[in-house]
């Protein structure tokens, strides 16, 4: 894509939310398991709900180049990075927890 397209949408290579978060959770999936993508993302969904229950927030971030994570963390190649979750407290008070229905 054209560099102008990214600039017009304020998209840069910098990811300050990864640097500022007190905790980063990397989620890998075993590509030898049946339905590994679906199973992993269902688990991620439950994890996101649990974070919200504790008053924490995150954003799902999937980098485009993921294979170097395996080498860096010494993880077998059949495990594929699915997402990085920067976890922390909401930056503003505008985040309001909605009460659950009975």
Q: Is residue 66 domain-resident? A: yes
Q: How confident is the model at residue 60 (pLDDT cuts 50, 70, 90)?
A: very high
Averaged pLDDT score across all residues of the chain: 89
Side-chain half-sphere exposure of 85, counting CA atoms within 13 A: 19
Whether residue 98 is predicted with pLDDT greater than 70 in this model: the reply is no
Whether residue 22 is predicted with pLDDT greater than 70 in this model: the reply is yes
Tally of structural domains, the chain: 1
Give this prediction's pTM.
0.78
Q: Is residue 99 domain-resident? A: no
Query: According to DSSP H, which parts of the chain are helical?
Result: 3-8, 16-20, 36-53, 67-73
Q: Is residue 94 domain-resident? A: no
Structure tokens given for 90: 């909401």
Q: Is residue 100 domain-resident? A: no
Q: Is residue 92 domain-resident? A: no
pLDDT the model gives residue 99: 74
Q: Is residue 59 domain-resident? A: yes
């Amino acid at each position: 894509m054209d560099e102008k397209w990214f600039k017009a949408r304020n998209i840069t290579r910098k990811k300050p939310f990864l640097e500022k978060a007190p905790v980063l959770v990397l989620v890998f999936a075993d590509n030898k398991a049946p339905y590994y993508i679906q199973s992993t993302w269902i688990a991620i969904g439950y994890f996101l709900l649990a974070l919200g229950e504790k008053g924490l927030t995150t954003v799902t971030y999937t980098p485009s180049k993921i294979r170097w994570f395996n080498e860096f963390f010494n993880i077998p190649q059949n495990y594929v990075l699915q997402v990085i979750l920067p976890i922390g407290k909401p930056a503003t008070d505008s985040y309001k927890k909605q009460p659950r229905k009975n």
